[in-house]
Amino acid sequence: MRFSAQEEYGLRCLVALAKLGPGGSLTIPEISKQEGMTPSHVAKLMAILRRAGFVKSTRGQLGGYTLAKSPAEMPIRAILEPLGGRIFGDDFCLRYNGIEQECVHKTDCLIRPMWEQVQYAIDSVVNRYTLADIMESRIESPPLKLAAAAGRPHPSAQANWAMDVEKE
């Protein structure tokens, strides 16, 4: 599963500004060079972040972008939503309705509970942290890297599968 580059790069733009401290300012070309993105992509991201109230822009020779509020007042979930939205939300079944007006599995969906669980897991992480937590390195990597991230089942799942095969 992947998030889009928009969420990653949007967070990176905010981190670049937060590194400067209160009142620190960067222009689109400065962010672009610093983060290895095209100026047009940075401009698009900064426009989204400005509309969402995370950054302020100042025009002119001394212009640029600054954080609109303290990193501690920027929950990660609130930052991610305008950049890419949620994986599962109220409009999920409308987005995946095929050629019909509404999903043919609207009342008997077997997959929806799984997507709800995925969204719940994501929310349990992004609701817990703010941009300040990122800046202060307060977010630790999980103790076990998920084997699934490398395209393999978790070792406990492999062991259970192996035991089931031996029983047959």
User: Where are the chain's structural domains?
Assistant: 5-135
CATH number, span 5-135: 1.10.10.10
Comparing 62 with 53, the larger pLDDT belongs to 53
pLDDT tens figures, 20-50: 999 899 999 999 999 999 999 999 999 999 9
Residue 2 pLDDT greater than 90, yes or no: no
Comparing 147 with 34, the larger pLDDT belongs to 34
Per-residue pLDDT averaged across 1-23, rounded? Answer: 89
pLDDT tens figures, 59-118: 877 789 999 999 999 999 999 999 987 777 777 777 777 787 777 777 788 888 888 898
As a whole number of Å, the end-to-end CA separation of the chain is 32
Q: What is the pTM of this model?
A: 0.76
- Burial string for 26-45 (b: 16+ CB within 10 Å, else e) reads bbbeebbeebebeeebbebb
Give pairs for 57-61: CB < 8 Å, separation 24+.
Answer: 58/25
